[in-house]
């Protein structure tokens, strides 16, 4: 039974706003004093991720909150006045009501609910971490650590039933303890237990004489507790490039007394992901503690988080023991993360290799992805405020909106925001949406993934209509029942996901030409407003023209007439005034009634 997307005729709603605190670009630094009186600073990201241990700065960093072990707290934060701008994939957020439990309380369900983590906003998380850090000396004593040992909070997870799980790194005589991480589980009733990476008691002579072997150049002194009896060791990081061009970050740990190599590992990994839509894919991951994280250090450090049904915060970073992720089905929580992480990576590569742009903002910084937003949420959205992408799990939580074209579509909203800034209403809004469809589609073609071959359809993998048909069509946008094929005076009154039609149609015509054509096994038949025949110049030239127009000629108020001017200028710049490409741009616009 075909089901059209819900609420398709309603006024579009923006996705739920993200609390301002969540977006603050802050890191926090937590100072701790070693037994030797040395102060070490643990740096945590705004999202509470452990970043590094370092000596204290001479003055507090601007933009960091420094919490000292004493009660003194100093706060300097950047102001963030950016208004919320968010752009979604479909015309309106189709929210399915949360299931309401009826009948007698089910003990198993109650326990499950109680043991489920509650979403912490960025500020709540930072507060929880600061509190845990303030209490760390007492915790260290309570769990029986030696006098030389200190705890550095890395993460705090709070369950609905009040249980708090605090993850710590450890120092010994001021030295980082590799393999010394532990988790303290504190129940609401005060009961506490501990999970440790090692149960071995640390007793190491850290004096100079104990380090008989000279430090390798650039190495740092650590306690190695990840194998047998903890020893004093040197950790050296060697950055290089693998045979296939993949950067490597090789950590070598040598015994400081004997010079014996105790352990080596490459912190830059390629994990294996079993995606729902793109088959088996390589994933940029990072070794963190005893497990791997979805953290793509080759692409700005893009991370993928599990919102676990929450609608704010970042949830928790995906981790895995063996670096093999997901199983290709929605039943496995990691699967949606595989698709999202892969989509972000391909989009990054497409921008870099095809558009010459390093990251969405062009500054090499990664966005991040959040999956499992809400319950059966049938949408995906980009938010400039958090500089992140968010994906719902789709109808029945079975079809996450994480396909390649959707990922490319969402990231491209960030690209548009940092370039032309096309206002998200009327004709400029339609061009904004079209830009996301155009480059999202280009990302899909660029991936050259046989499990999701390139096509001029949007969302053909996510079954958003429930009858197997795509969300949008570029060869003839009206195939979706709502979008405009051609420009008219009233096109700007349509929802931006439908006024995008003429520009999507332009892109198809410019790439492939008018009439019937089959590409990668998909049949198209693209009409023209005036019955003219348009000859395509190929997709690659078409997206290069569109991107150049977007990045150097379009502005926040560009309308269809302005888009014609901008793309003609871009084509003239790239291929010459009067060139075949330049003429094709003019012909394709005319064919969608933009003259």
Catalytic residues: 410, 497
Identify which of residues 166 and 441 has a Cβ nearer to Ca ion in the complex. Answer: 441
Alpha-carbon distance of 225 to 197, in angstroms, equals 9
Residue 423 CB, nearest approach to Zn ion (Å): 14
Q: Pick what 169 binds: Ca ion, Zn ion, none; C-beta below 5 to 8 Å, kind-dependent.
A: none
Alpha-carbon distance of 172 to 204, in angstroms, equals 8
Q: Pick what 534 binds: Ca ion, Zn ion, none; C-beta below 5 to 8 Å, kind-dependent.
A: none
Q: Which is it for the CA torsion 8, 11, 16, 18, positive or negative?
A: positive
Strands across the sheet containing 280-288: 319-320, 291-293, 280-288, 268-274, 324-325
Residue pointed to by tokens 């990045």: 551
Question: Which one, of 304, 447, 433, 418, lies nearest residue 359 by Cα?
Answer: 418
Alpha-carbon distance of 246 to 239, in angstroms, equals 11
Identify which of residues 148 and 452 has a Cβ nearer to Ca ion in the complex. Answer: 452
Decide if 394 contacts 376 (C-beta within 8 A): yes
Residue pointed to by tokens 């190929």: 538
Regarding 149 and contact with Ca ion (CB under 5 A), the answer is no
| The one among 53, 66, 87, 587 contacting Zn ion by CB under 5 A | 87
Residue 424 CB, nearest approach to Zn ion (Å): 9
Residue 570 CB, nearest approach to Zn ion (Å): 22
Helix (H, G, I), strand (E, B) or coil at 158: strand
Decide if 350 contacts 442 (C-beta within 8 A): yes
Helix axes 404-418, 333-355, angle to 10 degrees: 50
Identify which of residues 320 and 433 has a Cβ nearer to Zn ion in the complex. Answer: 433
Residue 409 CB, nearest approach to Zn ion (Å): 6
Identify which of residues 444 and 485 has a Cβ nearer to Ca ion in the complex. Answer: 444
Identify which of residues 304 and 383 has a Cβ nearer to Zn ion in the complex. Answer: 383
Helix (H, G, I), strand (E, B) or coil at 539: helix
Q: Pick what 339 binds: Zn ion, Ca ion, none; C-beta below 5 to 8 Å, kind-dependent.
A: none
Alpha-carbon distance of 266 to 253, in angstroms, equals 12
| The one among 436, 499, 511, 590 contacting Zn ion by CB under 5 A | 436
Distance of CA 112 to the CA centre of its chain: 28
Give the range of 14-22, 83-91, 130-138, 557-565 binding Zn ion by CB under 5 A.
Answer: 83-91
> How many residues sit close enough to Ca ion to count as binding (CB under 5 A)?
5
Q: Pick what 455 binds: Ca ion, Zn ion, none; C-beta below 5 to 8 Å, kind-dependent.
A: Ca ion
Residue 473 CB, nearest approach to Ca ion (Å): 10
Residue 403 CB, nearest approach to Ca ion (Å): 7
Alpha-carbon distance of 83 to 424, in angstroms, equals 13
Identify which of residues 149 and 444 has a Cβ nearer to Ca ion in the complex. Answer: 444
| Strand 247-255 with 231-241, pairing | antiparallel
Residue 407 CB, nearest approach to Zn ion (Å): 12
Regarding 480 and contact with Ca ion (CB under 5 A), the answer is no
Give the range of 248-256, 429-437, 471-479, 518-526 binding Zn ion by CB under 5 A.
Answer: 429-437
Tell me the β-bridge partners of 184. Answer: 166, 194
Q: Pick what 495 binds: Ca ion, Zn ion, none; C-beta below 5 to 8 Å, kind-dependent.
A: none
- DSSP string covering 49-78: -EEEEEPPPSSPPTTEEEE-SSS-EEE---
Q: Pick what 480 binds: Zn ion, Ca ion, none; C-beta below 5 to 8 Å, kind-dependent.
A: none
Query: To 10 degrees, the CA torsion angle through 223, 226, 228, 230?
Result: 10
> How many residues sit close enough to Zn ion to count as binding (CB under 5 A)?
2
Decide if 255 contacts 231 (C-beta within 8 A): yes
Q: Pick what 457 binds: Ca ion, Zn ion, none; C-beta below 5 to 8 Å, kind-dependent.
A: Ca ion
Residue pointed to by tokens 């630094």: 29
Q: Pick what 436 binds: Ca ion, Zn ion, none; C-beta below 5 to 8 Å, kind-dependent.
A: Zn ion
Regarding 405 and contact with Ca ion (CB under 5 A), the answer is yes
Identify which of residues 271 and 454 has a Cβ nearer to Ca ion in the complex. Answer: 454
Task: Show the site string, 431-470: x = touches Ca ion by CB under 5 A, - = not.
Answer: -------------x-------x--x-x-------------
Residues in region 301-360 near Ca ion by CB under 5 A: none
In the complex, residue closest to Ca ion by CB: 405
Q: Pick what 87 binds: Zn ion, Ca ion, none; C-beta below 5 to 8 Å, kind-dependent.
A: Zn ion
Residue 500 CB, nearest approach to Zn ion (Å): 8
Identify which of residues 87 and 197 has a Cβ nearer to Zn ion in the complex. Answer: 87
Decide if 354 contacts 360 (C-beta within 8 A): no
284-287: long-range contacts, CB 8 A cutoff, minimum separation 24: 284/341, 284/345, 285/320, 285/323, 285/325
Helix axes 580-591, 501-512, angle to 10 degrees: 140
Residue 412 CB, nearest approach to Zn ion (Å): 8
Tell me the β-bridge partners of 295. Answer: 303
Identify which of residues 40 and 340 has a Cβ nearer to Ca ion in the complex. Answer: 340
Residues in region 63-82 near Zn ion by CB under 5 A: none
In the complex, which residues of this chain contact Zn ion (CB under 5 A)?
A: 87, 436
Residues that bind Ca ion in the complex, under the rule CB under 5 A: 405, 444, 452, 455, 457
């Amino acid at each position: 039974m075909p089901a059209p997307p819900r609420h398709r005729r309603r006024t579009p709603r923006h996705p739920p706003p993200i609390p301002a605190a969540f977006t603050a670009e802050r890191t926090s630094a937590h100072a701790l004093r070693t037994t030797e009186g040395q102060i070490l600073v643990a740096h945590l990201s705004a999202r509470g991720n452990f970043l590094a241990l370092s000596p204290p700065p001479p003055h507090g960093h601007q933009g960091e909150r420094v919490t000292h072990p004493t009660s003194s707290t100093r706060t300097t934060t950047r102001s963030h006045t950016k208004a919320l701008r968010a752009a979604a994939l479909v015309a309106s957020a189709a929210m399915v009501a949360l299931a309401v439990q009826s009948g007698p309380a089910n003990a198993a369900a109650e326990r499950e609910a109680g043991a489920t983590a509650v979403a912490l906003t960025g500020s709540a998380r930072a507060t929880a971490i600061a509190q845990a850090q303030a209490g760390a000396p007492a915790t260290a004593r309570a769990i029986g650590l030696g006098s030389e040992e200190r705890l550095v909070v890395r993460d705090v997870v709070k369950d609905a039933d009040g249980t708090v799980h605090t993850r710590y790194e450890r120092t010994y005589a001021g030295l980082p303890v590799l393999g010394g991480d532990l988790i303290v589980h504190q129940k609401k009733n005060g009961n506490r237990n501990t999970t440790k990476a090692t149960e071995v008691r640390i007793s190491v002579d850290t004096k100079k004489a104990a380090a008989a072997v000279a430090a390798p150049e650039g190495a740092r002194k650590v306690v190695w507790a990840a194998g047998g009896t903890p020893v004093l060791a040197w950790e050296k990081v060697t950055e290089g490039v693998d045979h296939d061009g993949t950067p490597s970050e090789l950590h070598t740990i040598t015994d400081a007394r004997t010079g014996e190599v105790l352990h080596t590992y490459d912190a830059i990994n390629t994990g294996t992901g079993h995606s729902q839509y793109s088959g088996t894919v390589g994933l940029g991951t990072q070794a963190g503690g005893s497990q791997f994280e979805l953290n793509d250090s080759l692409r700005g450090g893009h991370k993928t988080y599990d919102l676990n049904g929450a609608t704010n915060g970042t949830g928790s970073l995906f981790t895995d023991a063996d670096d093999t992720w997901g199983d290709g089905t929605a039943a496995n929580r990691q699967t949606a993360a595989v698709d999202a992480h892969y989509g972000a990576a391909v989009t990054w590569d497409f921008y870099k290799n095809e558009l010459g742009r390093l990251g969405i903002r062009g500054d090499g910084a990664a966005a991040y992805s959040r999956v499992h937003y809400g319950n059966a949420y049938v949408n995906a959205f980009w938010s400039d405020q958090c500089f992140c992408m968010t994906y719902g799990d789709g109808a029945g939580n079975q079809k996450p909106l994480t396909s390649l074209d959707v990922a490319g579509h969402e990231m491209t909203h960030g690209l548009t925001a940092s370039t032309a800034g096309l206002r998200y209403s009327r004709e400029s809004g339609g061009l904004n949406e079209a830009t996301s469809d155009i480059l999202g589609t280009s990302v899909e073609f660029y991936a050259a993934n046989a499990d999701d071959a390139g096509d001029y359809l949007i969302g053909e993998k996510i079954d958003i209509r429930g009858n197997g048909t795509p969300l949008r069509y570029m060869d003839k946008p009206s195939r979706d029942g709502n979008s405009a094929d051609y420009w008219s005076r009233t096109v700007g009154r349509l929802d931006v996901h439908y006024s995008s039609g003429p520009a999507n149609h332009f892109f198809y015509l410019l790439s492939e030409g008018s009439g019937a054509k089959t590409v990668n096994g998909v049949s198209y038949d693209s009409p023209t407003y005036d019955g003219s025949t348009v000859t395509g110049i190929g997709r690659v030239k078409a997206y290069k023209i569109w991107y150049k127009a977007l990045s150097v000629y379009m502005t926040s108020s560009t309308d269809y007439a302005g888009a014609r001017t901008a793309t003609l200028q871009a084509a003239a710049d790239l291929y010459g005034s009067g060139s075949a490409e330049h003429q094709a741009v003019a012909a394709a616009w005319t064919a969608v009634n933009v003259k």
